[in-house]
Structure formats: C-alpha cells, structure tokens
Copies of this chain bind each other. A is one copy, B any other.
Amino acid sequence: MITRLLLCFVALGLAACGEQKSTAEQAVEQQSFKWKMVTTWPKNFPGLGTIPEDFAKNVEQMSGGRLSISVYGAGEMVPALQTFDAVKSGAAQIGHGAAYYWKGKIPAAPLFTTIPFGMNAQETNAWFYHGGGLQLWQKLYEPFGLVPYPGGNTGVQMAGWFQKEINSLDDIKGLKMRMPGLAGEVIADLGGIPVQLPGGELYSAMQSGAIDAADWVGPYNDLAFGLYKTAPYYYVTGWQEPGAALEFIINQQALSSLPEDLKKIVEIAIEAANANMLALYTAKNNQALQSLKEKGVQIRKFPTEVIEALKASSQKVVKQLVASDPQAQEIFSSYASFLQQAAEYHELTELDYYKNRRGLNWQDSATATE
C-alpha cells in the first residue's frame, strides 16, 4: 500500500497534487452530453434527412465525443409534425424540420421558411445572417423555450406534380393540392383546396386520388419518393417556395447547459449544414431532372395568366397575415425592405449574368484537344 502510494507520489509530483482542484474543474468542462434529435423527415431521406445526420456526426467529431446526438426519423420517436412539441417539452433536445409546419401555433412562423414570390436561397441566407432575420426568428420562438436556426435550403423548388394540365385559372378551381405554408392559402384564394401532409404520405395520397396535385421539393427528392409514378405532368419554376429554409430548433435549457465551446460547435456546425444542403441540392437536382425526363415525365410551365394570378393572390395572403398579426408585421417589414434591395441588385448581377452566359458551350471547350 505504502509502495503504491509512493509510486503515485512520484508519478504525479507535488505540483499535480496542488493542481487537484483545476483537474476537478476540467472534469466539469469535459462532461459528456447525449442529445436526441427528432426530425420531420423519413430516416435518412436524401438531403432533408441526411444533412441533419451529417451535422450530428460533425458535432460528435468536433467535440471529441463530448456531445453525441442520436437522430430519429419521422415516426421513430414522435410523428413528423410533433417535433416542435417534443423539443419544447425537452423529450428531445434538438429538432430538424421547417417553420411553416408550425403555423397553427405561431401564425408568423411560415415567414421564416419561404414566401411565395419572395427571396431565393442566397437572399434568404443574407437576410438571416446579415439582415436581422435570424434575430427576429429567435425572438418569435423565445416564448416557447426554443432557439431556431437556418437548417438548410433546397433552392428554387419545382411547382409540382399534376394529374391534369393547368391551362387556365379554371383548372385550379376545385383542385385538391398538397401545399403547406402561405402558398396553401394562395391555392385556396384561387379556388383550390390545399391539403397539409408530411412528405412521407404524398405518394399514397396521390395514388389513392385523395389529392390531385402535390408540391414536394424538386427533382432530387421527388424522384426519391417516386412521385413521377403518380402523375404525368411536372410543372417547373416553383413560385411557392423560391428558397425554402429548413430549421434546426434547440431546447433553450439544453443549449444553456452546454459549456461555451460546445455551444459554439453546435452553432458553427449548423451554419455549415445550412450551406451544405443547398450545395447538395444544386448538385443533385439536374441529374435527377434528366432521369425524370428519361422516365417520360412531361415538363410544363404555367401560362402567364396563372403566374400573374398566383402573384396577386400571394400579395393578398401576405397582406392579410401582416394585418392580423403584429409579429408578422414586424418580421415582414424587415423582410420586404431587404428583398426590395436584393431584388434590384440581383437584376443587375445574377439575373443579367444568367442571361449573358447563355449560348456558350463549355463542354466543347473541355473536349477541344481530344
């Protein structure tokens, strides 16, 4: 016993004994945390589901295992649309989904996902991080004990899948269409019947005829759900979700209990995940569109009459929301003035550039020497 004690003494040295307290402090800093993440997507669904999985792995690696996050798909722990409540109650510490799913609880929430004919992905991220958008979002969720963050963006989406062609406004009347958020109200304003369904239920709802048309995301995700088997017409150039922002929500108490380094790790890993999703969709969507064309899908665009009516109704729906809800008024006032500037600037840059670039065959340059 004495021998062992002496060995310990020799190995540690007196200084080590003197530092005992700081070792104890270090132990607190080195405490491990186990979080559960609930999501509104099927487990490992391409992009929407895999990006939160990647985020969890990154956090585990960056924290040297001190913060590990188990990810649950829709229905594994709670149904898709109960993730808000699960994170609010603390049953899960973090969730991934989209703000417009919570419009029944918070009328202004959909403004943080996307606004029909509003900002695209690049503009939305600029507004969140450098235009005051994220502060407004966090203020809106504060009474629920939740902290939201931008959780990825799918880019300009497609207008959706239709059993019949849309040749005039009459074709929207009576149309039962899956359409979440403010765009659902636009469909209603034009005489259609919006239906709210989580993604995983779209295929069977289309197959059974419960709905006549479905908005989901874009070629990459629509292909994954097999929606091309349910309808012949694919309308491109989405008006309804020009830059749909997903969200991470974190239980405020769980976040506060983390030491400062882990808080920063979570925050920065979320920023990286947010950007990575847009890069993924940009890379995958066109490939998937080619596959859909090969499967015989017929690509369509809405006639101008329909675009203009959708635009007018979108403005009406937003005006109604803003007039009925002071929080929506404050948020949309910030959004609209930011969008006005961004749209002017992008007319001279992004839009003009896309047009100027036309007609160049880069593939030809690449193979010039072969």
Residues of A within 8 A of B (CB): 4-5, 7-9, 11-12, 14, 16-17, 20, 23, 29, 58, 61-64, 117-118, 120-123, 125-131, 155-158, 218, 236-239, 242, 259-261, 264-265, 268-269, 271-272, 274-276, 278-280, 282-287, 289-290, 299, 301, 307, 311, 314-315, 318-319, 322-323, 329, 332-333, 335-357, 359-360, 362-369
Cβ of B274 and Cβ of A366 under 8 Å apart? Answer: no
A131 neighbours in B (Cβ, 8 Å): 283
Q: Beyond A62-B265, A337-B363, is A14–B4 a contact (Cβ under 8 Å)?
A: yes
In the bound complex, residues from chain B placing their C-beta under 8 Å from that of A353 are 120, 156, 237-239, 242
Which residues of B lie under 8 Å from residue A349 when comparing CB positions? 155-158, 218, 236-238, 285
A20-B12, A282-B122, A357-B343 known; A237+B348 contact, CB < 8 A: yes
| Cβ B355 vs Cβ A351 within 8 A | yes
Instruction: Pick the contact of A362: B259, B339, B347 (CB < 8 A).
Output: B339
Among A12, A16, A353, the one with the most B-chain Cβ atoms within 10 Å of its Cβ is A353
Q: Is the CB of A351 within 8 A of B354?
A: yes
Question: For the complex, what is the distance from the CA of A236 to the CA of B236, rounded to whole Å?
Answer: 30
| A354: nearest chain-B partner, CB-CB | B351
The oligomer's copy count stands at 2
Q: A366 contacts B322, CB within 8 Å?
A: yes
Q: Check if A122 sits within 8 Å of B122, measured CB to CB.
A: yes
> Is there an interface contact between B289 and A345, defined as CB atoms closer than 8 Å?
yes
A368 near B278 (CB under 8 angstroms)? Answer: no
The interface residues of chain B lying within 8 Å CB-to-CB of A64 are 29, 259-261
What are 28 A-B contacts defined by CB distance under 8 Å? A5-B5, A5-B9, A8-B12, A8-B16, A58-B268, A61-B260, A62-B264, A63-B261, A64-B261, A120-B350, A120-B354, A121-B122, A122-B155, A123-B282, A125-B278, A126-B280, A237-B356, A239-B353, A268-B268, A271-B271, A271-B275, A282-B342, A286-B345, A299-B348, A311-B356, A336-B362, A339-B362, A351-B355
| B62 and A322 contacting across the interface, CB-CB below 8 Å | no
Q: Are B11 and A20 in contact (CB under 8 A)?
A: yes
Residues of B within 8 A of A117 (CB): 356-357, 360
A339 to B357, CA, bound (A): 11
Q: How far is the CA of A348 from the CA of B11 in the complex (A)?
A: 70
Task: Say whether B315 contacts A365, CB under 8 Å.
Answer: yes
